[in-house]
Amino acid sequence: MKVEVLSKKEKWIAMNNGNICTPKGFSAGGLHCGIKRKRKDLGWIYSEVPATAAAVYTTNQFQAPPLKVSKESINTNGFLQGVIVNSGNANSCTGKEGLQNAYKMRQIFADKAGIEPHNVAVISTGVIGEQLPMRKITKGVESISGLENSNDGCSFEEAILTTDTFTKHICLQLETENKVYTIAGAAKGSGMVHPNMATMLGFVTTDINIDPEALQQALRDVTAGTFNMITVDGDTSTNDMVLVLANGMAGNKQWTQDDDEYVLFKEGLHIVCQSLSQQIARDGEGATKLIEVQVNGAVTTHDAQVVAKTIVGSSLVKTAVFGQDPNWGRIVSAVGYSGITINTEKIKLKIGPILIVEDGMPVSFCEEEAKSYLKNEKIEITVDLHAGNENATAWGCDLSYDYVRINASYRT
């Protein structure tokens, strides 16, 4: 899938062969330990030195034990040096035993890496309500070879997948006269994606030296316009998070929120997170199309975000896109029930380049031209509220027959 990489300053350059191991000092890998039948199900990230860590978490009240343990690790001193992830089993709604297993998983990886347990994050994804097969996980961790030197980001990307149909990654570099800076990301997400935050897994590594508070603030700000603006099916998971590790091995003087470089860092982080968000939306279970909804002319950014996510999350809009039906009534209906106060007599709507509604009224358009446009892999819907100057973009996917098939047989 072609991923758009946009930078206003045109300084961050996409690396086609880069992955989360590309930033200096990071290694990663993945293997099959037996949670799944055949596919890789255990992945890890390791940094040569403790890395400043920042994270955002799911808002689901059922927060799984691994998430609680990872929070504890990050809150201990703000640093992480290792991440251990399993797929196929979420270790969610598993009680005291599940929490003990999450701690065991953390300890096992810490022993393998020769680091303190509180410098390890533990993450699980998959089926809810089943205890982890700890013997398999223990054996898998113990079988890792060359942990410090493993440059297998591709295997890590495979090991974190559940119902995904492709791996998701991006890597950017910025060259100056004296330094080379790298930011890279990997993610999984296909179903149960309606972040607020997060309902998928996202991992970002960078060798930039950045102040802990600046890193956390940058992640919060970037998340609001990227991961929090995607939806697949309206469900929010119990486990998931976005994690950023910054180990400082690029050798720069530490950047703070007062530095000009902080703006540059946020720009790179935004590009990485937006790309991963789009890839997740495109890989919605059973999806055939990526839907991008741009809402302009809102009174506030929040208003624009709500309207955009309401449209892209509408099952009726999703099915119309899948069926290549330019049913604009479903779109304006979603705008109307979004909960945002609007002037219905000012609404303007386009499907791709085709003007459909102006001043709240339908205009004459070629039905066949609109149907032809809806055959594209990426569908753009633009709504102008003509109420203010704020805007927002949301991403989602169509809703196909395969979505029901995949989720009806998820545990079988």
Answer left, alpha or beta for residue 320, where phi above 0 means left and psi between -120 and 50 means alpha. Answer: alpha
β-bridge pairing 241-246 and 201-206 = parallel
User: Which residues partner with 180 through β-bridges?
Assistant: 175
d(CA 401, CA 31): 32
- How many CB atoms within 10 Å of residue 117? 18
Amino acid at 105: M
Residues 348 and 298: beta-carbon distance below 8 Å: no
Contact 44, 82 (CB under 8 A): yes
Structure tokens at 214: 């600046």
Active site residue 199: yes
Q: Which of 22, 125, 199, 226 is catalytic?
A: 199
Dist CA 200 CA 371 (whole Å):
32
Residue 64: name the closest of 83, 104, 91 by CA: 91
Question: Cα dist. 122→119, 178, 276, 282, 315 in Å?
Answer: 10, 36, 21, 27, 34
3-state DSSP assignment of residue 339: coil
CB of 130 closer than 8 Å to CB of 97: no
> At 30, phi and psi to the nearest 5?
-160, 155
DSSP symbols for 98-129: HHHHHHHHHHHHHHHHTS-GGGEEEEEEEETT
Cα(390)–Cα(337) distance, integer angstroms = 20
Is residue 395 within 8 Å of residue 312, measured between CB atoms? yes
One-letter amino acid for residue 273 of the chain: C
**Angle, in degrees to the nearest 10, between helices 301-313 and 315-322:** 60
Tokens representing residue 196 in the block: 């607020």
Catalytic residue numbers, as ranges: 199
